[in-house]
Amino acid sequence: MSTELTGKPVKLKLSYASVQPITPLAEGFTKLHPNVTFDLIETPFADYQTSLKLAMSSNDSPDIVQYSPAPMRAIVPAGLVLPLDDYAKAYGWRDQVSPSLLGILTSNKDATQYGTGNLYALPGAVQMVGVFYNKAVTEAAGITDEPKSLAEFEDDLATVKAKGVTPLAVPALATGGFQLWGALSNVMADPKVFSSWVYGEPGATLLNDPGFEKAAATVKKWADSGYMAKGVSAVADPDAITELTSGQRGYFLSGNWNAKELSEKLGDDLGFFPLPGETADQPALATGSGFPYSISAKSKNKDVAAAFLNYIISEKAAQGVYDGGFIPIQPIDGDPDKVKGEFVGAYKAVVDGGGITPFANWATSSIIDPLTAGIQGVISGNKTPKAFIQSLQADWESKR
């Protein structure tokens, strides 16, 4: 292991899922070190998850892969991902990156528990969930500022509804429904309980904190109040984007992976804020993670790959990531662009406040099903909020 970068020409094979900040990162690194070039292999997210296992077990495996917690549950125990701890010590990575971003990237050797053990990836940019809104819609309803508390947000939803516009776009066909629940859980329940549950700490449970049930009940209340359309269970992500940008909806809770498309369509009319807390002084927090990258245990260029990981978290990479529409790991000065600036500002508020909480669907490899179908049941009324939380806990326990 060495932190010295070779002068010989090296080509790194790098495999990642779509909509990634990897292009500015790779280009930036090649500009600094012209002897290192990249072979970038892009795969759509859903297919990436399913193909990663095969890619990493092949003899021709990529040098660097985007880390994805679900498939890594099998890949880490098979010894195909390089533990980065020696590099982390040599480069001092743990001092440079927020612990709330690194937690999900560490795991024990069996990959049954996160937030402990070896470090397996480093993030190149931040993804974060919050509320996008169409200013044309909200201003037409007479709303002039962003809500400071959940009660204010509910008032705004009611105001938009009174104007005859369904306020909230919820793509509950896929992940949109349970992400709304997750965002509400962030502010209604103890985020530490939630993180320890997603990380798989022994004995973790959602059942003792009433906040999770309350969050599900709030989703139901908003559905019953007409804040979301009746048919949200058949609304896919692209449909929700169209609903917001066409002015049929005022708000859309989603992640900044959609920011580029939304800002291209809405321009200055696009706004963004993290879901506010129950009280105005509650520290801001949001569901999120980094866009993390790992080194293959089979790579012949581990030192070069590690040097690249060291670059992506550095200030040198920040401007390129920011220009690409993503939130860089290190803060940058000045924000000429409005929406990008709002992301960076919101991220700073979150890191300084309550921190980043993990995505619920990382808790187990099968939890996405009780999450998606479960919240659809809560919205339709076929499942009580309590039964929803119990089914999540049951899936979690079946994997321990």
Partner 1 sequence: MALLNLRADGRTAKPRPSTRSLSPRRHFGAIAFVAPALLIYLAFSIWPAFNTLYYSMLDWDGLNAAEWVGFENYAKVFTEPELFNSILHSLVLVFFFAVLPIGLGLLLAGLLMGSGTRGLSAFRVIYFLPQVIPLVAVGIAWRWLYAENGPLNEFLETIGLGALAAPWLAGTDTALIALGLVGTWGMSGLCMMLFVSGAQKIDSSLYEAAAMDGAGPIRRFVSVTLPGLRGEISIAAVITTIAALSSFDLVYVTTSGGPESATTVPGLLVYRLAFTYERIGHAAALAIVLTVLILIFVSVIRRLTKEKA
Residues lying near partner 1 in the complex (CB under 8 A) are found at 49-50, 53, 57, 70-71, 73-75, 77-78, 80, 172-174, 229-236, 239, 248, 365-366, 368-369, 372-374, 376-377, 380, 382-383
Q: How far is the CB of 247 from partner 1 (least distance, A)?
A: 13
Q: What is the distance of C-alpha 279 from the center of its chain? A: 24
Longest dimension (CA), the chain: 66
Rounded to a whole number of angstroms, the minimum distance from the CB of residue 147 to partner 1 is 26
Q: From the CB of 377, what's the least distance to partner 1, in Å?
A: 5
CB-wise, 101 or 172, nearer to partner 1? 172
Instruction: Please provide the DSSP assignment of 61-107 as one string.
Output: --SEEE--HHHHHHHTTTT-B---HHHHHHHTHHHHS-HHHHGGGEE
- Of the pair 75, 363, the CB lying nearest partner 1 is at 75
The answer to whether the CB of 257 falls within 8 A of the CB of 114 is: no
By 3-state DSSP, what share of the chain in percent is helix, strand and coil, each rounded to 5? 50, 15, 35
- DSSP letters, 226-255, are TSB-TTGGG--HHHHHHHHHTTS-SEEEEE
Rounded to a whole number of angstroms, the minimum distance from the CB of residue 78 to partner 1 is 5
d(CA 226, CA 220): 10
Choose among 126, 129, 110: nearest CA to 118. 110
> What is the closest distance, in whole angstroms, from the C-beta atom of residue 383 to partner 1 in the complex?
7
Q: Report in angstroms how near the CB of residue 368 gets to partner 1 at its nearest.
A: 7
Which residue number, 21 or 176, has a Cβ lying nearer to partner 1? 176
Q: Return the CA Rg of the chain.
A: 21
Select 61 or 310, whichever has its Cβ closest to partner 1.
Answer: 61
Burial pattern 164-190, b for ≥16 Cβ within 10 A else e, equals ebbbbbbbbbebbbbbbbbbbbbbbbe
Nearer to partner 1, 332 or 373 (CB): 373
Q: How far apart are CB 43 and partner 1 at their closest, in Å? A: 13
HSE-up (13 A, CA, CB side) for residue 166: 18
Residue 178 or 326 with smaller CB distance to partner 1 = 178
Nearest Cα to 289, choosing from 122, 87, 94? Answer: 122
Question: In this complex, which beta carbon is closest to partner 1, that of residue 70 or of residue 104?
Answer: 70
Residue type, 1: M
Q: Which is nearer to partner 1, 165 or 349 (CB)?
A: 165
- Closer of 32 and 234 to partner 1 (Cβ): 234
Residue number, 342 or 395, with CB nearest to partner 1: 395
Work out the number of other CB atoms within 10 angstroms of the CB of residue 74: 15
Closest CA to 367 of 390, 396, 400: 396
Question: What's the rounded Cα separation, in Å, for the pair 360 and 379?
Answer: 18
Distance separating alpha carbons of residues 150 and 279, to the nearest angstrom: 7
Nearest approach, Cβ of 292 to partner 1 (angstroms)? 19
Start-to-end CA distance of the chain, whole Å, equals 35
Tell me the closest approach of the beta carbon of residue 206 to partner 1, in angstroms.
20
CA distance 36 to 154: 52
Q: What is the smallest separation between the CB atom of 29 and partner 1, expressed in angstroms?
A: 30
